[in-house]
Amino acid sequence: MIPYAWFEEAQKRIAPHIRVTPLEYDAARDIYLKWESQQVTGSFKVRGALNKVLALQEWERQCGLVAASAGNHGQGLALAGKLAGAAVTIFASEHAVPAKVAAMRSLGATVELVPGGYGEAEQAGLAFAAHTQATWVSPYNNGLVIAGQGTLGLETLRQLPALSASTWVVPVGGGGLIAGIAAALHSSEAAARIGQTRLVAVQSQASPFFHAIYHRGSQAGVDELPSLADGLAGPLEPDALTIPIIRRLVDDFILVSEAQIAEAIRFAWTQYQQRIEGSAAAALAAVLSGGVTSRPAVVIISGGNIQPEIHAQIVKTEERT
C-alpha cells in the first residue's frame, strides 16, 4: 500500500507546477464532475510524472528520462523534464493521436513512434532504457507516480461537500489514477473526512486488459480493437503495483462501448461546454448509460486532449442523429 505520507509529500512537491481543477455539481443528475481536463498539459498524468521526476536524484535525471505513452503521460514527463533540466524520450504507438505527439514534441521530448499499439511501445521503451541506462518512468507501475496521481483524489475530497455516501467513477488504463485515489481515500487520515465510498473502475470494451485482470486474474487472450479511449488501451506489465491495489480496494470494474464513449464526448460538449477525450469520457459514459446507478456519483474527467477533427466529427455526427 502507498503510505499516506507519500500523498502529502506529493501535494507539496507538485503544487507550484499544477492547477487546482474545478469540481462542478450537476444537480439534475446528482453527479460531481472533476474537470481534470483543465489541468496543465490537459490531463491528470502530469501529477504523477512531476512527483516522480522531482523526487529523483540529480544523477538519475541526468541519465535521461524514458517512458512509453499514448500521449498524456508523455506530455507530463516532458514538462517535468523541462523543469528538472533532463532529456526526455517517449516511445509511442505509430497510431498515437497526432495532437498528443505534437504536444510532447513541443514540450521538448524526443518521440519515437513504434509499429503496433501501446504494448509494443512499452516494450520498446523498456528495452531502450535498459540499453542506455536511462531512468524509466512508468505511467502506472511506480509508487511515486501512483502517489502523484492520488493527489487528485485528495484535492477532490477537499472540494466536495460532506456526503454520507458517494460512488467515485474513474477511468482505468494502467490503473495509476484509481490506485492512487483508492489508496488515498482508504487511508485512516482521509477516512475521517469522508462517508461511505464506493469505487468503480471503467474501461472500454475495445481494450479490456485491466478488466480481465480484475475479474479473472489474467490479461491473456484479450483482444484489442481501436478505441476512442486511446489512453486506456494496451496491456500492463505483469508485476504492476496497481494490480493488487485495485483488486483489493476497487468495488467494481465495468466496461463501456465505443458508442457510449462517443455519446459522452458529445454530452460533455453540449451540456457542459467541455471538450474531453475518449479516456475521460469512459467514466462519464458509465454514468450516462446506466452502468453506474448509485448517487451521488463523483466522475473523474481525466483529460481533454482529443484530436480536434475527431471531436468535431463526433459532435457533428451526434447532432445529426
Q: Does residue 193 have a pLDDT over 90?
A: no
User: Half-sphere exposure of 94 toward its Cβ, with a 13 Å CA cutoff?
Assistant: 4
Q: What is the model's pLDDT at position 1?
A: 77
Query: What is the residue whose three cell numbers read 473526512?
Result: 193
What is the per-residue pLDDT across 286-317, written as a single tens digit (0 to 9) for each?
999 999 999 999 999 999 999 999 999 999 87
Q: Which residues are bridge partners to 200 per DSSP?
A: 169, 252
Q: Work out the pLDDT band at 321, boundaries 50, 70, 90.
A: very low
Let me know how many helices (H) and strands (E) the chain has, helices first. Answer: 14, 10
3-state secondary structure of 119: helix
At 124, the pLDDT band (50, 70, 90 cuts) reads very high
User: Using H for helix, E for strand and C for coil, what is the string for 52-78?
Assistant: HHHHCCHHHHHCCEEEECCCHHHHHHH
Per cent of the chain over pLDDT 90 is 93
pLDDT score at 187: 82
